[in-house]
Amino acid sequence: MELAFYVAGAVAVLSTVLMLSRLNVVHALLYLILSLLGVAVVFYLLGAPFVAALEVIVYAGAIMVLFVFVVMMLNLGGHATRTERQWLTPGIWTGPIVLAGILIIEVVYLVRGAAASSSTGAIEPKQVGIALFGPYLIGVELASMLLLAGLVGAYHLGSHEATKPEIQHDADTHEGRADVSGDLVLAGTNQSARTT
């Protein structure tokens, strides 16, 4: 149990250091996903299985997919497949594969041994839920408001690809954006684009 904890922590720290020292974004993303998985195994060994599952699902599953999606979206071109083939040469993915193999062996060992050794000192998801919706209910409300603000902000930033010449002559070409004067942010950009 102790050894498994130290191995998982070493994998997490090593993959984080390798992530920070990469020069290519996709290579760094591979190591970052591996670091998150290593931290998830550490959480499971610390007696927090709910948080470990959430780490894998939300961090490594959702946020990293967002990162990969943006990276793949940023270089859409004729040379995109060639660069992707350059990114995934065998010398690149052996490092993450080796570290992920260590983690998989460790998880299999833990799952096989979990039936024999009852997990002592684990904080069950039931306690977390009771604490979350009991004294921390106002925090849940604030988190929901924060997520709503993030949703609206991401939609506003990502919906219109506001390049400067498009904004300058959008009053006569795009009828859909004729009500720009009511939008404070767009009005500000319009003014700044006019002054520059």
Partner 1 sequence: MFVLMSLEVMLNAAGLAFVVAGSRWHQADGQVMFLFILAMAAAEVAVGLALVLQIYHRFKSLDVDAPGEMKG
Interacting residue ranges for partner 1, rule: CB under 8 A? 16, 19-20, 25, 28-29, 32, 35-36, 39, 42-43, 46-48, 50-51, 54-55, 58-59, 62-63, 66-67, 70-71, 73-74, 121, 123, 127-128, 130-132, 136, 139, 143, 146-147, 149-151, 153-154, 157-158, 161-164
Angle made by CA atoms 58, 59, 63, in degrees to the nearest 5: 90
Shortest Cβ 150–partner 1 spacing (Å) = 3
Collapsing DSSP states into helix, strand and coil, what is residue 108?
A: helix
Taking the complex as a whole, the smallest distance from the CB of residue 88 to partner 1 amounts, in Å, to: 18
In angstroms, the CA 70 to CA 172 distance is: 32
In the bound state with partner 1, the residue whose beta carbon lies nearer, of 102 and 167, is 167
What b/e string do you get for 48-67 counting C-beta neighbours within 10 Å, with b at 16 or more?
bbbbbebbbeebbeeebeee
- Angle (CA) 81 79 73, round 5°: 70
Q: How far is the CB of 111 from partner 1 (least distance, A)?
A: 20
Count of other CB atoms within 10 angstroms of residue 117: 9
Minimum CB distance to partner 1, residue 151 (Å): 7
What is the DSSP code string of 27-74? HHHHHHHHHHHHHHHHHHHTT-HHHHHHIIIIIIIIIHHHHHHHHHHH
Which C-beta is closer to partner 1: that of 127 or that of 181? 127
Nearer residue to partner 1 within complex by CB, 105 or 130: 130
In the bound state with partner 1, the residue whose beta carbon lies nearer, of 84 and 108, is 84
Q: 97 or 130: whose CB is closer to partner 1?
A: 130
The least CB distance from residue 92 to partner 1, in Å, is: 17
